[in-house]
Structure 1
Amino acid sequence: MVAEGVATPQDVDSMWMINTGAQAGPFRMMDQVGPDVVLDIENHCAAERPGLPAGPRELLHRYVDAGHLGVKTGRGFYDDYAGVG
């Protein structure tokens, strides 16, 4: 949904938290792990299963190429990591 421009990472995370009761959504968690690490994992999965949609990897690529690596750089899908980066 985010890769297609239908929703923002914050929209998805909010829906996720409301529907699952989790404390964080997938985009906040990807920022914790690092979009670069998540992209490496996604690339490995895509190599094993070539039919996977490319949109999520393309989205991650944009963030990684911009240097937005989540908590470790102070900015990822979110930019509210005070004192980091």
Structure 2
Amino acid sequence: MMDHVGLDVVLDIENHYAEENPGLPEGPRVLLGKHVTAGCPGAKTGQGFYDDYRENGRRQTAS
């Protein structure tokens, strides 16, 4: 679902949440940041955690 929302958007939400809750682990935000920095923010570019998106943004299903 994060790919559909956009990893950049999820990262912004996570960063805000971490500001409010300073004890949260950094691992998930670091991983999201790596994908966003690499230009893979999800369905809007066709690459995210999954890179099997069609041009229309819908995830392909296995045949």
How many residues are aligned here? 57
Match for residue 76 of structure 1?
48
Give 4+ residue runs of structure 1 displaced > 3 Å after superposition. Answer: none
| Structure 1: runs of 5 or more not aligned | 1-28
Which is richer in helix?
1
Q: Equivalents in 1 of 2:48, 2:56: separation in Å?
A: 12
Secondary structure, aligned partner of 1:75: coil
What TM-score, normalized to structure 1? 0.64
Unaligned runs of 5+ in 2: 58-63
The Cα RMSD (Å) is 1.3
2:12 match: 40
- Identity value in percent: 68
Which structure exhibits the higher relative contact order, with contacts defined as CA atoms closer than 8 Å and separated by 6 or more residues? Answer: 2
